[in-house]
Structure 1
């Protein structure tokens, strides 16, 4: 028997002392105040999980009262669970994804079955819920293998469709003594009959008429009841919840006079819906050519399945969310007078190849065309906003034309458009989200507007064909991973750039020589990693910090010229640059991270100009390289370095730093700056010129005003 324990305080337990405890490969949380135990981990169990009634810890008995959240999340090995008699709660997702679980006993004291607790338990065909159970929460048995389902009289709470998408569930029963719920012909209602709550996906009725008196249909109520071909909504029905009839096998639909509110995706993915009728007395809806519109004709709400091209009725200004969701046979659409396209309106229209983009269109909603079959996206000048993931994963699309006038291009708008080769971002687009062109694998050329100040995070990440990009003259910031994995060679950044985010140029082909803009003060984490063409890096005169792995694993990098004024170098900050033979650390550096020059396999010399040994956070290189690299320090600092517990590990330490050997050439001027850090094309008379020299040093020179 294996037993381990540790302690912590959990605020959700009212700051009770919770002991993490393991016994017989089962993890528990022990509440020392209530003397109750919660099962927290069953992932080490195979085949059968036996949950004890109680256990003993330090002579105290703890009753096992709960199976905690995610306790056995997606553990396929357990086939049977035997619960102890004191278990009262099975918490959310406790057995989610346990695909082989076929048997579990529910003890008489059980009070709560948590949300998604048995989701995707495909082998679980039956379960006996005891009297005394009070709550079955949302999606508790979602997509399980249940064939029958009985709700005890004691249950007073049912979450959103607890048996959602249970394809084989054809029998639902409720104890006649239950005061809150009833079942009629396999469909569960509130006791007063005013709310239709849910049915099993396996309901076999060819046509279903909702009973008169029902006022509302709950979300997901009859989702995936694919055997139902006809549906009639009586005059009493006023409200339909989200996805109430999504993914049904409907062919006909009748809407009564009372319907006022239609939830999102209510009739989404009903690919066989051919006929819609509407009670003429309905005060807020109207029927036009088999389409349900708002009474004023401005909003398109429900359409029949489309098998070819479709024209939006004249006068419609808004396509409601999810209207065409899953219409996989639709090939084209004429938007007519549409101004706004709602969220997911054309989601998964796999064969929608063409859109007649009208000049009134202003907003394209979230995920509106995600996973559609569009072959080109040429947006009209009227468009002002392209929302989150509007065109994500349009894998057949070959062209993107963004109009001058568009202001917002939201996060991941064109993510995964893998066939697009060129993009021009208009000057009007001032509100750009992250990852807009992420994974556009064929993108070769990008034209950015001159007024752009920020390239957001991951904008061109994984654009593995991108070789040509311009950097706008006003650019100030390049976001994290903005150009990761792009084969770009251009690093001609404007002097306006102040911030380069972490990983921004990781795995690119910039080089062979780069110089950071003068206003850059930090090299962020992993900024210049695996730059395959990079041979030389010169930092900016205002650089203060190189963070972890800032310039790392550049296999042909030979030179790094660091500026005076640099203060800190992070962990592995300059490591793995295989061809670099020598490195000079400026006199201003006060701290270096561990292994900051690790794996520089060609390095023979490390020249440390700081008079006081910088504080290292652990070893500065590999153990073997202390015998290979010669440490050069200033003569007056020789003893301080030798006596230091880390720097003193170098076998050879010389006090010759700053001494120019006779054979060395006089360093040449590499760059010229004024005292504000602005780069100059040449020496400027009458002022102080700051010179960056080829040996990494910096000199200040006053040029006389009469010097030409």
Structure 2
């Protein structure tokens, strides 16, 4: 009998050991040799689904495309026996985060890790000698790499699109050369400041199973009955220990998406758009047969949801950034604006933009390399820079297109590849797109057609030899920096001109004259001027233009809101009017010392007519509304007491704080809250605005990019010692939650976007859940373990194994005790 109990005890111990040896579902792929398809010592393909993969020790070559487009791997270890990785080996591994390269590898070949958007960390061993063409292109999450001293060649495109990347190197090496080159190149990548959080990218849709087809089992799915008896035993016991004791709230309807519970309120995120999409190479004309594309939401911070389509009219910024399942796309009717980077770096091939769309945002289709056909409506009035840069469509024009002009839609000039000194833009062009002629230093004169209405942002910027422009008879809008740093001798703006943007005619040196034939135009402003890094953009439309003239006395006109309003930006020349052959000086925002210290042109020529300067001794000195700060610190002004600082510090900037009387004065914030929660902001919400103005120019800044504004403010009594929520709205008017810290009486937070804000007290419950089968499932966080690593529930195999081990040992020890008694 004693032997029997000893045997049972030993069996229990053995069983316990076996149970604790069972791998968790995210098992190391090296234990599944059949997942690696080999041809001798070359790994041809990997078919497993593990997240952490170690390449087997008998592999010497990882073949072309061996792991291409894998969607499960998060970490890969390449051992020292691997001598070569062929092109595209890990192309498009969408979840790959970490890579360790072995000591036997001599180079990282062309395109090996390209288009791995989540890749954060790469270790290069000292024996690496070459990093190839676009080896890590579009690895947008890659932040730091150390290039070893052994590297002899890094291709200039090796890290294209890695706009967050900082490169470490040894002095005097190829790594240093490339790092210096890349630091400058990175500044030209549109995403450098604009894509702040790659994780905001919309989740690609999962195709539903065909009729009669079962969905593929997912890792950890309880319906998956494959595996050993012990694995299934542990999975079964998992339901006991990790049980489904979550509270459930019934919400009628189909599966909708994720839900968040704030203050005991379950929130369901609704789809609200049905644009048409066809995957693959189908033509746009086949859109009737195209499949329906659902709207997908993304979460940025606690409780935040964002829609790809906002109120049916705005396609949100970054809505389909990097999306690789798009072919031909017809956007929905009712759309008015396509947001910034909305399709950038996606697989989009063809797109139909419907009538009614008026604006295409910055970088909207940037680097859509496969985009070969675009249909633009006649309603478009605004195209931001980089909107179509590096698309297959534009690239093909530069390589093979006939003629010098790429024209789309209703007379929209999008690209130019001519080399003429005297440029005559053809009749029929209605608007000139952004940056079309930028940097064409060969141009000396320009004739614009009568059909032209809009001159786009930076359209002729840095045309360093452009001195004469004629033919603006029908122009209505001249956008920011249209003729930036062009040494124009004179410009006549017809009465048709309604607005002129920042820096539109700004010069590098003082000179030239602008004649206004009508009223003073309104001050235009593009979103690029809102970015902190673009400090040279926030200058007056006529910066360094010597004279701005009219046919009537300028100071007798209403200047508020115009290009000569000194509360916007300050014009640094002389304002005057024409009388016969006389240029009469009227007023200036310059100081007496500045006027007396400058040599002024006594005669100017406008369209062949000469005018003589008079009246400088009687000029009126107007005090500008914006005074340049002599302080190097941030100044805080307004009707709320708070402390704020910029990190890194700005130079004499002004932060204007305005407390709003109530929710009624923050309609955009209340609308964003209602869009998600189907009800208005809590009544105790404290609403206020923060506005930042640049110290040197007075120009407004809303996007801080790499900078951050840190704010500490006191709380009113009704919000003290409460669980607080801080909400704001993004550029598209969508709700965002910002993390906060509080001591009960004050609140501290940091932001990189200046907007309207609301603070309110919430209930103590905050949980996350999913909407499944029409029910909002709320997670109970009470059963987390106390371990400092992940906080995940303890895996049941350890509980079961430990219990059997203790029971087995107890049986053996008990029999020994009886034997010695």
TM-score (norm 2): 0.28
Higher Cα Rg, which structure? 1
TM-score (norm 1): 0.31
Q: Which structure carries more helix by proportion?
A: 2
